[in-house]
A and B are shown apart, each in its own frame.
Chain A
Amino acid sequence: MTLTTTLIAGLVLGGTYALVAMGLTLQYGIARIMNLAYGDMIITAAFAAFVVQALPSMNPLTGLAIVVPGGFIFGYLVYVFLLSPLVKRAPDKATLEVDSILTTFGLLFVIQGVLLVLFGSNYTSYTFLNVPVSIFGTTVAANRLIALVLALTIGLMFYALLTRTRWGTALRAVAVSPQSAKLVGINTDRAAAVAFAMGTALAAAGGTVISMYQTFTATGGVVFTMKALIVVIMGGVGNLLGALTAGLVLGIVETTVSTYLDPGLTLAATYTIFLAVLLWRPEGLFGRRV
């Protein structure tokens, strides 16, 4: 592989990481839910995209218009019925953290079980625009380029929504200080539900994008949860641009290591970065800006 090919492959992977990490950072930063079922929501969306794109006159791109709003609604319902009772009874932040970890850990297996029943345990994939395209002197599959462009576009759209509108600024304000958010008239309960739902919508967008160029299985969610978590911590919890940048960095590092060193070292490299960040920059690579 040439350097350019590696770089593009890294950006494709990294763009996906960035997209899903933004969703997780929304859920943790604003709704204060550490969602261990996050990766399984991504996988669910990949399967949903797989089903939807096979419908008459549909493809994965038009499928986004169904899967992403579907993810939002699913996330909203999970928050209202499963998580908000925990939020209401939790006397403090630490209790909510433990309760939400246990609950979403349970949810992980429920989602996985349903997927196993519906789709079995085999690797699944579909073909979408698997044609070579020439770019910067190398050839890449069109579906990967589309995945990259989609990941960045959707990620930046959500970023703009959260930073350029008063509505989005209000959501970020809840992350900074829930009590003060109430004082300016923000309904923090609803903000948390919306943030969790938006996070799930981003997971759904990520899952759809992933399904365009990668195989996936019902039990593959854990890896995505871990990767998203690593990117969130690298970028700084609650830091959206940090998640975006850290995602791209991680994708490029992983691809470079697997190309030039050994594919077997990819995970080791990932966790080395993660540990280094935790040890030396626990507030994330880019400081504390929300």
Chain B
Amino acid sequence: MLTLDALSVRYGKHIALDNVHLRVDPGETVVILGANGAGKSSLLKAISGLVTPEPGVSITLDGHELAGVAPHRIPDEGIALVPEGRGIFTALTVDENLALGAYSRRARAGEARQRDFIFDLFPRLAERRKQIAGTMSGGEQQMVAIGRALMSNPRLLMLDEPSLGLAPVVVGELFDALGRIGASGVALLLVEQNVTISLELAARGYLLEVGRVVGEGSAAELKEDPAVRQAFLGLNA
């Protein structure tokens, strides 16, 4: 479904991503593991059009070229991003955040159905519809961010470190919800440093190190990969 070929991103002289290849199949959940500064956020931003990749890249969704498409046109292509740090509209209410999630043309028809799905997924949001989103707890704000992204009725949902800064219990609840979203047929491309929980959710993954893919495989394979074990689990291979 999503295919990335020869993706390179640079900021001035600094090369953040170097010739990355990656694919996500329909309905699949894929995780990208990598330490701070590995280039994970740059990768998701490149797909969303927020950073411009080096020439020669190809980013396609079902054969449709996305490189060069303006960021505000990406939701209409069926791709939604929950950015690092959530990026919710803090001064607006939960309802307004969700309504804006359905701003793109693609989202309008199924808006009511998506909202029902989100309230079923996160009952807390249904209770807090009029609350200013910036006054909610970290976990609730992450729910708003995911809900807003889902409102666009995406075929591919990308999440940038959704577990960051949240208590383990909250992370568990959040990943349960992500599992349900994946089961509903939406493909997930997840960026994480929390290896254990994301390898339970994902079917496949990639390991990113300073801008290069240094490992890939099924979740089971990655769990046993010495590089992953050493880099993240603090275990010696």
What residues make up the interface of A, taking CB atoms closer than 8 Å to B? Answer: 166, 169-170, 172-173, 175-177, 179-188, 288-290
Interface residues of B in 142-157 (CB under 8 A from A): 148-149, 152
Known: A166-B99, A184-B100, A185-B76. A177 touches B152 (CB 8 A): no
Segment touching A, from B53-61, B85-93, B173-181, B207-215: B85-93
6 A–B contact pairs at CB < 8 A? A169-B100, A172-B89, A177-B87, A182-B50, A184-B152, A290-B92
Residue of A nearest to B107 (CB): A185
* Docked CA distance A182–B91 (Å): 17
* Docked CA distance A185–B71 (Å): 7
* Docked CA distance A186–B101 (Å): 10
Do the beta carbons of B72 and A169 come within 8 Å of each other?
Answer: no
**Main secondary structure on B side of the interface with A:** mixed
Instruction: List the A side residues contacting B71 at CB < 8 Å.
Output: 182-183
**Main secondary structure on A side of the interface with B:** helix
| Cβ of B44 to closest chain A Cβ, rounded Å | 11
Of all A-B residue pairs in the complex, the 6 with the closest CB atoms, nearest first, are A185-B104, A290-B91, A185-B75, A180-B87, A182-B71, A176-B89
Residue of B nearest to A191 (CB): B72
Interface size class for chain B? Answer: 20 to 34
Do the beta carbons of A184 and B75 come within 8 Å of each other?
Answer: yes
Instruction: List the A side residues contacting B101 at CB < 8 Å.
Output: 184
* Docked CA distance A173–B91 (Å): 8
Do the beta carbons of B91 and A184 come within 8 Å of each other?
Answer: no
* Docked CA distance A289–B96 (Å): 13
Do the beta carbons of B81 and A183 come within 8 Å of each other?
Answer: yes
Contact of A185 among B90, B91, B96, B152 (CB under 8 A): B152
Cβ proximity bits B125-153 to A, threshold 8 Å, 1 near / 0 not: 00000001000000000000000110010
Instruction: List the A side residues contacting B87 at CB < 8 Å.
Output: 177, 179-180, 183
Do the beta carbons of A289 and B76 come within 8 Å of each other?
Answer: no
Instruction: List the A side residues contacting B50 at CB < 8 Å.
Output: 179, 182-183
Instruction: List the A side residues contacting B124 at CB < 8 Å.
Output: none
Do the beta carbons of A169 and B148 come within 8 Å of each other?
Answer: no
Q: Please indicate which of the listed interface residues A173, A180, A181 has the most CB atoms of chain B within 10 Å of its own CB.
A: A180
Known: A166-B100, A184-B101. A173 touches B152 (CB 8 A): no
Instruction: List the A side residues contacting B107 at CB < 8 Å.
Output: 185
| Cβ of B227 to closest chain A Cβ, rounded Å | 32
Do the beta carbons of B83 and A185 come within 8 Å of each other?
Answer: no
Residue of A nearest to B87 (CB): A180
